[in-house]
Copies of this chain bind each other. A is one copy, B any other.
Amino acid sequence: MIITISNQASSEERAQLMSLLCRITASRMPLATTHISEREVIALDNTVLDAQSQQLLLQQPAVTELLPMKTSYQLVSRSFQPADTRILIGTGHACTSITVGGPSASPVIIAGPCAVESREQLLTTAHAVKAAGANILRGGAFKPRTSPYQFQGLGVEGLKLLAEAREQTGLPIVTEVMETEMVDTVAEYSDILQIGARNVQNYALLRAAGKHSAKRPVLLKRGLASTVEEWLLAAEYIVAAGNPNVILCERGIRSYDPQTRNVLDLTCVPLIQELTHLPILVDPSHATGRRELVPAMSRASIAAGAQGLIIETHCDPSTALCDGRQSITPEQLARIVVETRALSHLMQGSELVQVA
């Protein structure tokens, strides 16, 4: 059930509604509201509200309407909000803000090293990717590693270096958060919270990313073996918890062929755009695991309709502490920026993207 809240409700009327809802749903915590599709809503399992409760709710001055949920994911579905979600990145910090999602002349390019390794490495790379045309800087301060003995990132020290890089370059930053306890800290430093493939069904983390007070946009990667439906339901967790600003990111799915790290499922790009209003980016670096394949798959991603790319870039890939095999140089990035902007321009100009 989607409960739409009146934007003319007084704070008293809102409090009364919340109190009623806690009673009806036996919840001890206030329920989250989300501003989505120019409405403020609360989403609840259809089965929670019996006819009498629905009657009670409709009598509340703070309630505009009740809509039954029709699909497993509701708030993120294209049928709930037909128009593309547009997400403004970089507000609240001194940097050049940029919009992700919606019709736009240029794909968003996120670039930077897999991990923040040192001040020099990060700042050099940050300036270089900015010069190459990137719009947002990426870099891991907390690294999810398959082995407990691999380099786990610089932690808060890494966050501070990212903030310094933003200050120097004006690029907004995105970095991964792996623990609920760290959501507020990462949100303090970063412009986008990244939730990685391994945490796509870490529901506590998804909820925390939805509820945190700064409401930073969330970049939600697809899980290693997520179906599209599971992935959209993960996004629904974040949105239902109060944060409508979710950016999806395809990064390859597990497969049987050892020739590439994963299989990049580009078909999910037009499919996602049919099913949801959220923007979708592609990460060709993790998808392929080999830098030689990154330029072609960057072009293909944009041609498939992706609204941007996230590309691992390192000034000296051979010395990278993490994923050097898939990192490109800033020079290679510059070529990709030129190519993908030309492709995007062509598709806009000739209305190619409207064809599908």
Contacts and interface: CB of A to CB of B under 8 A. Distances in A.
Interface of A: 43-46, 69, 72-74, 144-151, 178-181, 198-199, 201-205, 223-225, 227-230, 233, 236-237, 240-241, 253-260, 263-271, 274, 287-288, 292-293, 295-297, 299-305, 332, 335-336, 338-339, 342-343, 346-347, 350, 352, 355-356
B301 A305 contact: no
Nearest first, the 8 closest Cβ-Cβ pairs linking A and B are: A303-B303, A225-B225, A198-B201, A270-B296, A300-B304, A45-B149, A179-B204, A299-B303
Output the residue of A45, A72, A181, A296 with the most chain B CB within 10 A: A296
A251 to B, nearest CB: 12
Contacts of A240: 148-149
Given A260-B271, A343-B303, A179 B178 contact: no
B293 A270 contact: yes
A229 to B, nearest CB: 7
A291 to B, nearest CB: 10
Contacts of A227: 256-259
Given A178-B203, A303-B302, A352-B342, A270 B256 contact: no
Nearest to A264: B267
27 contacts: A45-B149, A45-B150, A144-B201, A148-B236, A178-B203, A181-B204, A198-B201, A224-B225, A225-B225, A228-B259, A255-B255, A255-B263, A260-B271, A263-B267, A264-B265, A266-B297, A267-B293, A270-B297, A292-B356, A296-B303, A296-B356, A300-B301, A300-B303, A303-B303, A336-B355, A342-B346, A346-B346
Given A144-B201, A199-B202, A230-B146, A297 B180 contact: no
A178 to B, nearest CB: 6
Contacts of A144: 201, 203
Given A254-B256, A267-B288, A355 B45 contact: no
A269 B236 CA distance: 34
Given A181-B204, A263-B263, A270-B297, 10 more contacts: A145-B203, A148-B237, A148-B240, A148-B241, A178-B202, A198-B203, A225-B256, A253-B263, A257-B265, A342-B350
Nearest to A299: B303
Nearest to A151: B45
A228 B202 contact: no
Contacts of A146: 72, 201, 230, 233
Nearest to A178: B204
Contact of A258 (B258, B292, B295): B258
B148 A299 contact: no
A149 B44 contact: yes
Contacts of A274: 292
A355 B335 contact: yes
Contacts of A304: 296-297, 299-300, 303
A285 to B, nearest CB: 12
A269 to B, nearest CB: 7
A221 to B, nearest CB: 12
